[in-house]
Amino acid sequence: MTPTASSLAETAKAAKTRGLPPLEKWNPPFCGDLDMQIKRDGTWFYEGTPIARPEMVKLFSTILWREDDSYFLLTPVEKVGIQVEDAPFVAVDFHAIGEGADQTLEFYTNVDDRAQAGPDHPIRVERDPETGEPSPYILIRRNLEALIDRKSFYRLVDLGTHHNGWFGIWSQGIFFDIIPSEELPQES
């Protein structure tokens, strides 16, 4: 029998400790797919209906696991597949500490995770091959990323600079490429 969202929530609550649960230590059997989806805007759906309780979404986010391009909710006793439209989280804001190459960018997600861009939390930008539209991401935890929302990305661009033929941003002494400098429109 495939678990339900309620049964997963109860098991996750029972297994919850301080901080994130030790998912990497759990190896439960695959129990099938659950009709749950995370949309590109970070909204979680169960059986076609948005999950309206933020506490429930946050709880589910703590047991989210990724293997290759597949996503699962993982408890000590069950593993169920879910669908993720893009990235499972959305970086909804950030703040910069310091300036230039000495700055640190700290991001906040829709599920209250925090991550400082740097060697453990790199930023990457994918560009749509047809439109060139950028989709920026930051690694949040394990191998789970957050799509950086549009307003935050525009703020990042305002902090950007040119370095080694690229326009990008600095955080924790690492330069993250956004776009080749020659592809930027030239000011007249």
Q: Which CATH architecture has domain 5-84?
A: Roll (3.10)
Taking CA 148 as the corner, what is the angle to CA 72 and CA 157, rounded to the nearest 5 degrees? 160
CA dist 81 and 84 (Å) reads 10
Percent of the chain with pLDDT over 90: 82
Residues 40-96: tens digit of each pLDDT: 999 999 999 999 999 999 999 999 999 999 999 999 999 999 999 999 999 999 999
- Give the pLDDT confidence score for residue 184 in this predicted structure: 78
- Domain 5-84 and domain 89-181, same fold? Reply is no
Tell me the CA end-to-end span of the chain in Å, nearest whole number: 65
Which pLDDT value is given to residue 1? 60
pLDDT tens string 93-128: 999 999 989 999 999 999 999 999 999 999 999 999
| Beta strand pairing call for 144-148 and 89-97 | parallel
% of the chain residues with pLDDT over 70: 93
| Strands, sheet with 161-163, edge to edge from the N-terminal-most edge strand | 161-163, 166-171, 174-180
Task: Map out the domains of the chain as residue ranges.
Answer: 5-84, 89-181
Residue 12 pLDDT > 70, yes or no?
A: no
Fold classification of 89-181 is duf1285 protein fold (2.30.270)
What is the model's pLDDT at position 54?
A: 94
